[in-house]
Amino acid sequence: MGATRRTLLTSAGAAAAGGLVGATGSPAAGFAEPPADPVVPVVDPVTPVVGPIALGPATDIPVGGGKVYSTAMVVVTQPVAGDFKAFTSICTHWGCQVAAVENDQIICRCHGSRFSATDGSVVLGPATLPLGPKAVTVQDGQITLG
């Protein structure tokens, strides 16, 4: 015996109601979940740096570009020759680690946000908050965080 028109309509209504409950019960209703990529850790963007951390040679940072130091959770840029900037590498949208620095922009590939490599401000959403600054020094050609 097959399903009647009434049982099909009832099932469809229950499925729709379940979908609504699931969507509104979610902490980020209306958004998809962030990608579950193990190489893009989702971490607390305000985790403090404990003590100075040697990042490496300043020559690793191209003018107009930058480098993401994923373990230290920082991105270092050099918008102008000899002027190094650093920001948290944790995207303010949903906490993915930013992926790259290209054309003076820090790029998060999770949802496409872009930030200024000069001041961390949002260039393109969905992020609405800037990347927080980090303190770095360059001495004897070596970059140190903190």
Q: Does 127 bind ligand FES (CB under 6 A)?
A: yes
In whole angstroms, give the CA distance from residue 113 to residue 40.
Answer: 15
* Residue 42 contacts residue 91 (beta carbons within 8 Å): no
**Are 136 and 89 in contact, with CB atoms under 8 Å apart?**
no
Among 75, 94, 117, 134, binds ligand FES (CB under 6 A): 94
Min dist. Cβ of residue 98 to ligand FES (A): 7
d(CA 66, CA 100): 7
Nearer to ligand FES, 37 or 83 (CB): 37
Please enumerate in sequence order all residues whose Cβ is within 8 A of that of 113, keeping only pairs 6 or more positions apart, or say none.
Answer: 91, 92, 93, 107, 122, 124, 125, 126, 127
User: Considering only residues 101, 108, 117, 145, which one is a binding residue for ligand FES as defined by CB under 6 A?
Assistant: 108
Q: Closest separation between CB of residue 110 and ligand FES, Å?
A: 4
Q: How far is CA 26 from the centre of its chain?
A: 21
Looking at the Cβ atoms of 91 and 101, the one nearer to ligand FES is 91
* Among the residue ranges 4-12, 17-25, 104-112, 137-145, the one whose residues contact ligand FES (CB under 6 A): 104-112
Tell me if 126 contacts ligand FES by CB under 6 A: yes
Among 86, 91, 101, 106, binds ligand FES (CB under 6 A): 91
Do the beta carbons of residue 96 and residue 39 sit within 8 Å? no
Whether residue 36 contacts residue 70, with contact meaning beta carbons closer than 8 Å, is answered with no
Q: For binding to ligand FES (CB under 6 A), which residues are involved?
A: 91, 93-96, 108, 110-113, 126-127
